[in-house]
Every structure is written in C-alpha cells, then in structure tokens.
Structure 1
Amino acid sequence: MARNRPTVADLRALKGKRQLSKLRVTTLEEAEAAERAGIDLLSLTYALMLDPRFRDAAPTCFAVPGDEYGMMGATSSEILRTAVKLRAASADAVYCSASLKTIRRLRDEHIPVCGHVGLIPTHSTWTGGFRAVGKTAETAALVWKQVKDLEDAGAFAAEIEVVPAEVAAAISKRTSLVLISMGAGAGCDAQYLFAEDVLGLNRGHTPRHAKVYRNLAVEYDRIQQERIAAFREYAGDIASGAYPATSHMVGIDAGELRRFEEFLSGQA
C-alpha cells in the first residue's frame, strides 16, 4: 500500500505507539534505497536537499536537512534564511543545534525544528568530549534541562545522543518532543544511524551504537581495483597505438581529403 509523507502532527501522534526509523544519507542512491526500504525519517546534507531530484528519489520520507558545522558561527538571520530556502525545497523540518534564541526565531516563522541533546558533537567540549552524557544524576538532569529548554523554545523533536537508555526512556515519557535515539536505547520514539555505518562504509571509528548490516567497503575496494585496471589498460593502449582504432574515429572521403590537402598547400 502506498504511503504518504508524514507531517509533524503525524509524528507527534505516533509518539509512544511505534518506533520510527531514521537514516543519515548523503547521496541520491542512498535516499532512493531508504525510500524503497520504508525508512521514515532522513537526515541529509543541504546540497542533497536542494537537489531537484531528491523528491523523485524519496517522495515520502520526512526530510530533516542538517549540516551542523555549516551553522556554527552563523547568525540567527543567516540560519533563518537558509531554513526558508530548505523549506522551499520541500524540507519537512530543519536540524538546528544553535542557540535557543535562534530556535525560537525559526518557530516564530513556523519552521519545524529538530534540536539536539546529550552528546552534541559541536558542543562536546562543554560535556567532556566525545563521551556519554547522563551517566550521573547531575548530568542526567542536564539532559532533562536541555529537553525542557527545547520544548519551551518551540522545537518539535530532538536527537538524543549517547545517553544511558534508562535516562532517555524516563525523559521520553515526560516530554512532548519526538525523541530520536542515537545510541540512547529503545525507549525513545525513533532510532537513528548513519547510512555509512549500516552499509559498512565507515573506515574510521565505528560508534558503539552502530550496527553494520552489509560490507559494501569490500565492493567499493573491488570496484576501485577494476577502475585502476581499466585506466591502466587505457593508458597502455594509448602508448602502444591500440587506441584510438579506426572504429573510434570519423572518416572522410578520399576525394574530399585530397581537396582539403590542396587547399592547405595554397595557404601561406
């Protein structure tokens, strides 16, 4: 049965009823695969969101573009301008880890915002680097405050990253936000992974919460070796004269060629 693209109201109505799925995708191919696989939510780059082919690839996925590093240092006006442009390109919401003042400004323009709590990569220096947040009563209370602040600012959802599952579940029961778990357990409203981890394309550190379902890195390595081999054969054919062959060139009638050569002979 065909599905419709969900609205913010739809996602709120599903809170506590079923787990949603979310992926970070960076290519049209990944977006199309997510659509065909029935993934509910997509995080994506601004460039992909602004690509006019995106909605052909993923017509029913709820799209939340977010280039968090692109927002750092930007003013509220610049972020608002970007958000309006993204919404015009059919974004369903925008990810924003900027100030509460900025989130309120987006809300006042009726732009749905997904915030971030717990381990916020761009703010991690304040919580001790890339490590779990909420393992003590005091830091769990900090995550709770982050959630309540986002509620008050008008966000409709928040990623909750690397927070103990029990803490995240307790908070999820007590907030109206759609909580999207990245390493925060199954007690939230959605689960979020990066496509590169799911596909086995991540060649660096694999996060604890990531689960690898395929090993496409091996396929990409094989394809790269085939690419190198093809390029090497091409260079070899040029060196040996095997390329270009007669079949690769445009011919000319012998009489026409003779006339052209006679023309050239008359040139100074």
Structure 2
Amino acid sequence: MTKKMTITSIKKSKGVSPLVMITAYDALFARLFETDADMILIGDSLNMSFAGKSDTLSATLEQMIYHTNAVAMGAKNSFLICDMPFGTYVNKKEALKNAIKVFQETPADAIKIEGGEDRADIIEYLCSNQIAVCGHIGLLPQAVRSEGGYKIKGKTDEERLQLIRDAKAVEKAGAFCMVIEGVKADVACEVAKSVEIPVIGIGSGKDVDGQVLVFSDMLGLFEEFTPKFVKKYMDGATLVKSAVKNYADEVKSREFPQDIHTY
C-alpha cells in the first residue's frame, strides 16, 4: 500500500517530484485511482461530468459532502481535497462555518477555494482555524458567468503580474498548495517559481509542480467536447458503448446468461 501523502510531504515535493492529482466522485473510481494519485480532488466539476450541467455553479455543499464521503470509502489511503462550491465562502464567517461542516462530516484532508488576492483574507482565516486550504488561481470556473466564459489568463503583462501577486498572497495566507488553471505556460512557470508551495497545473503547461485532470476527460468518457489541455489516455466512451452493445446483443440472442452464469 502506498504511503498516504501529508501536507508536509506535499510541500516537500516541490522541486523534487511532480504531484499527480485527479478528480473522483465515487468509491468505485476512487479505488481505481488510489495507487497512482498523490491527491484526489472531489471537484465541483461533478455537476458537469455527472449531471450534464453547463458549468459548476449548481453544485451544493451537501453534494460535495456526499461525494467526498463516497470517495473516502474507496480511497482510504489517499489525500482528499474537497472543492468548496460556489457561494459557500463569500465571507470569512460563512467560509469557516461551511469548511467546519466539511471537516466534521467527512474525512477530507483539505478544502479548495478559488481566488487569489481577493480571497487571501478568507484563506488566512480558515488556516488560522485549523482548516487546511488548497488555493486555486488563474481561470476560475466559478467565475464563468461573471467573466462571460472560460478565458485563458496570462496573456498580458498586467495579468502576469496579477497572477504572481495572487500566488504569493495565497501562499502567505497559509495554503499548502494551489491549482493554477488555464494560464499561458510561460507565465504559469514563472508563477510556480515565485512561491515555495507546489503549484498544480491544469491547462497551464508542464513547467509547474504537478498536474490535475478531470477523470472523465482523461479516460475519454466525456464526449461533448475535449478542451485543448486534455489528453485522452483511453477511448472510454467507445469502449463502454461497445461493451453495452455486446451485452444487449447477447441478451437478445439468449447467448447470455450461459450455464456458468446460472445458479
């Protein structure tokens, strides 16, 4: 059994070995990912992957708690990070109340919240109250409606400097690592070098401290569209549909079940 990562070992990995993070939403897939993933993120992306929503904003705290507990049942030896959904950390008081609920009702090792300098005071408040926080800067999925879409960051010098300020603010506030999403690769590299905590990339190039992907994207199960930053490591949708067709054909032809499948 692989030794479970800790906040200390995650921090010490910077500059030593890239960190592997993957999303999971249930016990079945979490069990499959546990051996190779350093961290499992129970992402609010579940409402896009599972519920067919167009964005992550509809995810609720109750959903995140339910799915975090499900993942924990399958990956008992993994470092688990629970995404705090939209609207659950609008101020310090609400953020702490909701983070405490996650910690009390699940075995999550940490929570993740989106935002840089503008959320630093909330991150600091949470950390001062014994809540482990993973930050998230760059493209923020929870801001998709206010920004009018998913927009790549780091295209201008102003954005580059703001991302560095965001990263430093998140680090200073006490986060043990952060996700950087949808940022130009050269800028993401500079951001990662500007802080002492690991910076985990998604759509931000390879020169950061690790990578995270949504599992349904990585396994080729999501067919609606494929973001440029996603590599499909298998054609999962085709494999699943082929298996289901074989099952249906065998049921209709009475080839299944055979004697070995019968009591």
TM-score by shorter chain over 0.5: yes
- Deviation per CA, 1:61-83, whole angstroms, max 9, x where unpaired? 211111533636x5533432332
Provide the identity percentage: 27
1:32 is the counterpart of 2:69: no
Structure 1 residue runs of 4 or more that deviate by more than 4 Å after TM superposition: 124-128, 223-233
Match of 2:171 in 1: 151
Residue 222 of structure 1, CA deviation: 3.8
Counterparts of 1:230 and 1:3, CA distance in 2: 40
Counterpart mapping for 1:240-255 below 5 A: none
Match of 1:241 in 2: none
1:86 is the counterpart of 2:102: yes
- Residue pair 1:50, 1:86 contacting (<8 A) in 2 also: no
Counterparts of 2:42 and 2:145, CA distance in 1: 25
Residue 15 of structure 1, CA deviation: 0.5
Q: Higher relative contact order at CA 8 Å, sep ≥6: structure 1 or structure 2?
A: 2
Residue 5 of structure 1, CA deviation: 1.1
- Residue pair 1:42, 1:62 contacting (<8 A) in 2 also: yes
Q: Pick from 29, 41, 44: which aligns with 1:43?
A: 41
Unaligned runs of 5+ in 2: 44-63, 254-263
Tell me: CA distance 1:138–1:126, structure 2 relative to 1, closer, same or farther (3 Å): farther
Unaligned runs of 5+ in 1: 234-268
Q: Which moved more, 1:181-190 or 1:151-160?
A: 151-160
Amino acid at match of 1:65: C
Match of 2:47 in 1: none
Tell me: CA distance 1:79–1:229, structure 2 relative to 1, closer, same or farther (3 Å): farther
Residue 97 of structure 1, CA deviation: 1.8
**Max Rg structure:** 1
- Residue pair 1:24, 1:195 contacting (<8 A) in 2 also: yes
**So what's the TM-score if we normalise by structure 2?**
0.77
- Residue pair 1:114, 1:156 contacting (<8 A) in 2 also: yes
Tell me: CA distance 1:184–1:223, structure 2 relative to 1, closer, same or farther (3 Å): same
Match of 2:113 in 1: 96
Amino acid at match of 1:183: G
Tell me: CA distance 1:227–1:82, structure 2 relative to 1, closer, same or farther (3 Å): farther
